[in-house]
A and B are shown apart, each in its own frame.
Chain A
Amino acid sequence: MKILRAMLVAWAVGSVAFALAPDEAEVHVQPPHLDTPRPLNDTTREAAVRNYLEAWTSASEALAQNRPGLLDATFTGTAKDQLTATIRQQAALGISTRYQPLSHNIQIVFYSPDGLSIQLVDNIEYDVQILHQNKVFTARQVHARYIAVLTPTEVRWRVRLFQAVSE
C-alpha cells in the first residue's frame, strides 16, 4: 500500500523522489510516455510497477540464495529461463550474488494496443556483492538502465523480459 500511495503521488505531481530507510530502495515513477491508442488506467500502471518491483525483490533473493524457485511468482518466459540459467551457473561455480537496489527511476514507455504487454524502462542504482561461501569477493555500486516487458497472467503482471541495456 505504501508503494501504491507513493506511486499515486508520483503520477499526480510528475517526477518526484522518495527517500528510503537504510535498506530500502528509493523509487521514482515518471508519468508514462505512450504513443499507443490504448489508454493505460491508473490501476493497471500501479499494478505493473508494483509487480515489477516485486520481481526485482524475488530476483535479488533468488540470485542471493541460488534458488530459482523464488522466481516463479514474478517471472515468466525468457526472463525466467535466463535468470534460472544464471542461478544454476552461480550454484555450479559456488558463488552467489546480492543485488541491493538503491533507487529505481521507472517510466512506462509502451502499452501494446491489445493490452497484452507493458514495457517499462528503469534507470536503477544498485549495490552488487559477489560472494563465495558467504565471503564477499567484490562489491560494486552500479548504475544501469533496465528494460522490462510484463505480460498479464491470472492475477498479476509477470516480467517476461528483463534486460539491462547499454546507455
Chain B
Amino acid sequence: MRYRLTFLPALLGCGAWLALAPPATAQTGNLHLPATVVAGSGFTVQTSGSGPATLYITGTGAAVRRQVQLGDPVSFAAGDLDIAGHYVAFLEEGGATDVKEFDVVPAPRPGSLAFLAKPSRLSVDLHDGISGAVYIFDAYHNLITKPMPVSFQLSVPDAAVESRTVQSHDGAAWTQMNSSSREGAARFVATAGDVSSTRVIEQVPGDPCSLKMSAHPDGQKIALATDPIRDCSGNPIPDGTIVTFTETYDGEQTTVDVPVKKDIAQADVPAHDGARITVATGVVLGNEIRWAR
C-alpha cells in the first residue's frame, strides 16, 4: 500500500470509494451480537438458521474461530477476547453468510499506569520544574479512553505535600509541579482509580545563595574558610561542590579549587601584604578581602 497525496477538493475523494459487498451466498445463518463487549468479559453471540457453520471474529487485536451449530448461542468466556478494538464477525458456510461489526471496549477499572516523570534530578524551588504524564490502561493493557480523574502528589519528608487532580482525555493526563524547598528524594505518585504508580525524583540544593569567607594568618600562609554554604532555601549545598579562592598580588594570580566538605570550603594561600583575595563557586561570587598583617 502506498500513500500518494495530491491536493484536490474533498468531495472527489469521497466519490472514489468503492463499495464492497459480501460475496453473494445464501443467507442461511444470521448473527446477533452486542454492539460493544467489555474487554475480558464473557459474552454470547446468538445465531439463527440451522446446520453447522464456522464463526470467525477478526480484528487487529485478535483472530478467533469457533465451530457453531446455527440456532444455538455461542458463548465466549471471560478472557477469550480481551484486546480492545473494532472487530468483524462472520459466519462461514461455504462463503460468508452474515457479517457484523462490533467493538471491544476497555474495561472501566484501571489496571496499570504508564507514568512518565521528568526530570529524575533537579534543584529545589523550581516553578513547574517537574512534569508527569500518565496513560491509563485496564488489566489487559487497553487504553481507557473514558475520562477519569487522575491525581498527582509530590511529597518530600517534613514538607507539605503538593497535589493536583486532572481529568484524563483519550486515556492521557499530565501535570506540572514545583519542586519543593526541601532537598531529598521526592515521591511523585500518580493515581487513577485504585492504581498508583510512583517515581522518585531527587531534589538537590540550588545554587548557593551567598558566599562569605574569612581569613586568618597561619605562619607564612593565610588560612581561608567559608561560612557554611547554603542555597536560598537554607539547604546545605552538597559536599564536593567546588569553591575557588583567588589571590592576586603584584600582578600575579594564584587560584585554589577546593571541594566543599561538611558545608564549608577551606584553603591556604601565600601570605602577601596587600594581596587581594576573592572567592566564588559556580556563578556566585563571594566577598573580597585585602590582606594586611
**Chain A interface residues toward B at CB < 8 A:** 2-3, 5-7, 9, 16-28, 36-37, 53, 56-57, 59-61, 63, 78, 82-83, 85-86, 89-90, 93, 95, 97, 99-103, 109-110, 112-114, 116-117, 119, 121, 125, 127-130, 136-142, 144, 147, 149, 161-166
Contacts and interface: CB of A to CB of B under 8 A. Distances in A.
15 contacts: A5-B5, A16-B7, A18-B5, A18-B13, A20-B16, A21-B4, A23-B1, A57-B2, A86-B59, A100-B1, A117-B116, A130-B96, A138-B88, A139-B21, A161-B143
Contacts of A37: 128, 176
A3 B26 CA distance: 44
A147 B170 contact: yes
Given A83-B60, A137-B90, A17 B13 contact: yes
A130 B90 contact: yes
A82 B4 contact: no
Contacts of B21: 139
Given A112-B116, A113-B133, A140-B88, A85 B62 contact: yes
Contacts of A28: 10
B209 to A, nearest CB: 28
Most A-side CB within 10 Å, residue of B60, B92, B133, B141: B60
B172 A162 contact: no
A4 B13 CA distance: 19
B272 interface: no
A140 B1 contact: no
A166 B36 CA distance: 8
A164 B92 contact: no
Contacts of A138: 22-23, 88, 90, 96, 99
B22 A27 contact: no
Contacts of B12: 17, 19
Given A110-B170, A128-B88, A24 B2 contact: yes
